[in-house]
Amino acid sequence: MSTTLLALENWVKQVVEHTQADKVVWCTGSDTEKQEIDELLLETGDFKKLNEETHPNCFLHLSDPQDVARVEHLTFICTEHKDDVGPNNHWMHPEKAHAKIDDLFSGCMQGRTMYVIPYCMGPIDSPISRCGVEITDSAYVVQNMRLMTRMGTHALNRIEAEGHFVKGLHSTGELDPDRRYIMHFPEELTIKSYGSGYGGNALLGKKCHALRIGSYQAKTEGWLAEHMLILGLENPQGDTHYIAAAFPSACGKTNLAMLIPPEGYVQDGWKITTIGDDICWMRPGEDGRLWAINPEAGFFGVAPGTAKNTNPNALAMLYKDTIFTNVGVTEDNQPWWEGLDDKVPAMDWKGNPYDPEVGPAAHPNSRFTVASKRCPTYSPKAENAKGVPISAIVFGGRRENLVPLVTQARSWAHGVLMGATVASETTAAATGAVGVVRHDPMAMKPFCGYHFADYWAHWLTFDKDGANLPEIFTVNWFRKDENNNFMWPGFSENMRVLEWIVNRVSNNVGAHSTALGDMPNVQEFNLNGLDGFSRDDLNKLLTVDLNGWKTELANTTEYLNGFGERVPDALYKELDNIKSKLN
Ligand code: SAT
Ligand code: MN
C-alpha cells in the first residue's frame, strides 16, 4: 500500500488491472528518482545527453514527428449535457467517451512501467492550489511533470489530507494519430489522454487540469483559471504592480514574463519580476482585489526565437537542468534552434543531418522544460500562499493589422467584451494551418472547459459590491506595414506599454477616449531612447481604422451570435456602445 487514501489506492489498482502494467512506481520527487529515470531514458534512447560542459544535466528528446503539438480536433469535453460545453468545444457523452478511450487503454501498458505522479498545482501551502494525480506510462512525462509541478511526497501528503484530487490517466499508446484522444470529464474531475506524448496533450497538470478542468472548477467555486502570464513591475519608487496577461500559445508570453526593461528604464530603477508565463489562477481576496498564483513550477516554452536579444533571461536559465524537445543540435552537441545564434546546426529535430533545404533545424513548436527557480527574474512572491494582487489584466493577440498597440477598457464589462472578442493568427502550438485569424477569447479558445457564453457571464459576476478589480487593457505587438515589417519593435520595448498601463492604474498619465476605449496621448507616451521610432509611427499604431473596425465588429457580432442565447446582454450592450461611437 503506497497511500493511505483508499480512493487513490483503488483507482491505481483498477488502472493496473485495466492496462496490465508490468510495474507500478509511485513518484516521490526525490533526486535519486530523477537520476534513475534519466538513466532509463538514456538507455531507451528517449533522452540524449547534451554537451555536459556547456549544458550540464540537459537532455534532448526527439518526439515522434507526428506528435509535436496539441491536437484540438481530438480534444473533447465530456459532460452529461451537450449544451454545457458550447460551440467552443468538441463534445462527447461521458458514457460513450469512457467506452471509446477505455478500449484503447485496455492492456496498453503490458510490458511497461506505470508511474503514479501525485502533483500540486500551485504552492503546496496555498489555499488557491489544487492537486491531482497523473498515471502515465511515459518516463519523459514524469521528468517534465517533475519540472512543471510540485510533485511527489509533499503533494501526496496534501492529497491524503484533503481526500480528493483530479484524476489523470495517460498513455502514449502507439503514438498513432488515429488512435489519439484527449478527453476531459469535468463533472468527474477526470482526464484521460491516449496516444500522444506531447506537452499539452500529456503533461496533464498543465492545459488539461490547470485550464480545462480548472476553469470548470473555477466557475463553480467563484474564481478564474486563465491562460495568462503573471509579472511584477516595480517602479523607481519601489511599488510593484502585478499584471496578468493573456496571449494565445506561441505569441510571446514567456518573453513578456521575463522582460528586461530597456537600458534607460533600468537606470531609472524599473524592474520586472516573473511569477509565471502561461497559467494564472486568481480569486477575490478580502480586500476585494483579485489575488493570483501561478499553478505551475516550471516553464514549457517555445525554443525558436529565444535569443540574447529577445529573451536573455530565458537563455540564462537554459544552460543547465533543462529538457529540450524537438530542437536541433550543433556539432559539439549543444541544443540549437532558429534565431539562437549564427552557428550551423549539425542535426535537425528528426535526428537527420541538418539540411536547410529540407526544413528548419528545430521544429517551430520545439520546447524547453525548465524549473521556474532557474529564471533570474523569478519572484520569491511566486511562492506566496496568498498569491499576488493583480492591478491590470491584459488581453493580446497576434494581428498584423487593425488592432491598436494598446487600449484601456472603460469598465469591467467593456474589458470582458474586449477579452471575449480577441482574434489572433494561429501558430505552430497546435496542429493545423498557421497564420489564420480566428477568434480566441481570453486566449482560452482551446482551453475553456465549458460554454464560452457561461464563461463570459462568470467573468461579469466579479464586478460586484466591494470588488476592487484590475483595470483591463488590450495590446497588439504584431502590426505590420505595407512591406510586411513589424511596426512596433516589441520585446524589451514592450516595457513602454507596461509603463503606460501601470501609470493608468495609478492615475499618473492621461489618455484620450476613442470608440474602442482609452488610448495613450502620443505626446505623453515614453519614447525616450527608442531610436528609429517616431511619434508619427506611434500615431499610426494608435489610429482607429473606422471602416476596418466596422467590418471587424460585424464579424464579432456574428461570432457572439454563434454562442446563442446564453451570451450575456451586457456584452451586446458594450458592443452596441462601440458601434455607435464608431458612427
Ligand atoms: O502544448 S502546451 O499546451 O503545453 C503549450 C501551449 O500550446 O500553450
Ligand atoms: Mn500556453
Residues 451, 545, single domain; the answer is yes
Residues 90, 36, single domain; the answer is yes
> Does 476 fall in a domain?
yes
Residue nearest to atom 1 of ligand 1 (CA): 200
Residues 24, 97, single domain; the answer is yes
Residues 190, 236, single domain; the answer is no
- Grid coordinates standing for 93? 457523452
Residues 456, 480, single domain; the answer is yes
Q: What is the pLDDT of residue 1?
A: 58
Local structure of 570: helix, strand or coil: helix
For residue 300 and ligand 1, the question of a CB distance below 6 A is answered with: yes
Query: What whole-number distance in Å separates Cα of residue 465 and Cα of residue 288?
Result: 9
* Stated pTM of the model: 0.98
Average pLDDT over all residues of the chain: 97
Residues 111, 132, single domain; the answer is yes
Q: Which domain holds residue 27?
A: 6-46+74-222
For residue 249 and ligand 1, the question of a CB distance below 6 A is answered with: yes
424: β partners: 438
Angle, alpha carbons 437-446-256 (nearest 5°): 75
> Does 62 fall in a domain?
no
Residues 161, 200, single domain; the answer is yes
Q: What is the pLDDT of residue 389?
A: 98
Q: What is the pLDDT of residue 565?
A: 97
Residues 436, 577, single domain; the answer is yes
- Grid coordinates standing for 76? 473533447
Query: What whole-number distance in Å separates Cα of residue 171 and Cα of residue 204?
Result: 11
Which ligand places an atom closest to the C-alpha of 144?
A: 1
Q: What is the signed CA dihedral for 157, 160, 165, 168, rounded to 10 degrees?
A: 70
| Percent above pLDDT 90 for the chain | 100
For residue 206 and ligand 1, the question of a CB distance below 6 A is answered with: yes
Q: Are 230 and 280 in contact (CB under 8 A)?
A: yes
> Does 464 fall in a domain?
yes
Query: What whole-number distance in Å separates Cα of residue 33 and Cα of residue 474?
Result: 44
| 511, pLDDT greater than 80 | yes
Q: Are 129 and 39 in contact (CB under 8 A)?
A: no
Distance 58 CA to ligand 2 centre (A): 23
> Does 354 fall in a domain?
no
* Domains in the chain, number: 2
Task: List residues with catalytic annotation.
Answer: 251
> Does 335 fall in a domain?
no
Residues 172, 282, single domain; the answer is no
> Does 316 fall in a domain?
no
Place of cell 505552430: 428
> Of 222, 237, 260, at which residue does a domain stop?
222
> Does 119 fall in a domain?
yes
pLDDT digits (tens, 9 = 90+) for 361-374: 999 999 999 999 99
> Does 198 fall in a domain?
yes
Whole-number Cα distances in Å, 474 to 212, 437, 441, 493: 23, 17, 12, 16
Pocket test for ligand 1, best of 206, 277, 279 (most atoms within 8 A of CB): 206
> Of 206, 222, 238, at which residue does a domain stop?
222
Closest CA to 541 of 481, 473, 471, 472: 481
Residues 253, 201, single domain; the answer is no
> Of 191, 222, 253, at which residue does a domain stop?
222
pLDDT digits (tens, 9 = 90+) for 100-122: 999 999 999 999 999 999 999 99
For residue 304 and ligand 1, the question of a CB distance below 6 A is answered with: no
CATH number at residue 131: 3.40.449.10
pLDDT digits (tens, 9 = 90+) for 274-329: 999 999 999 999 999 999 999 999 999 999 999 999 999 999 999 999 999 999 99
Distance 325 CA to ligand 1 centre (A): 13
Residues 127, 272, single domain; the answer is no
pLDDT digits (tens, 9 = 90+) for 166-203: 999 999 999 999 999 999 999 999 999 999 999 999 99
CATH number at residue 414: 3.90.228.20
Average pLDDT over every residue of 219-225:
98
Alpha-carbon Rg for the chain in angstroms:
23
For residue 301 and ligand 1, the question of a CB distance below 6 A is answered with: no
Q: Which helix (H) or strand (E) holds 293?
A: strand 290-293
Residues 135, 283, single domain; the answer is no
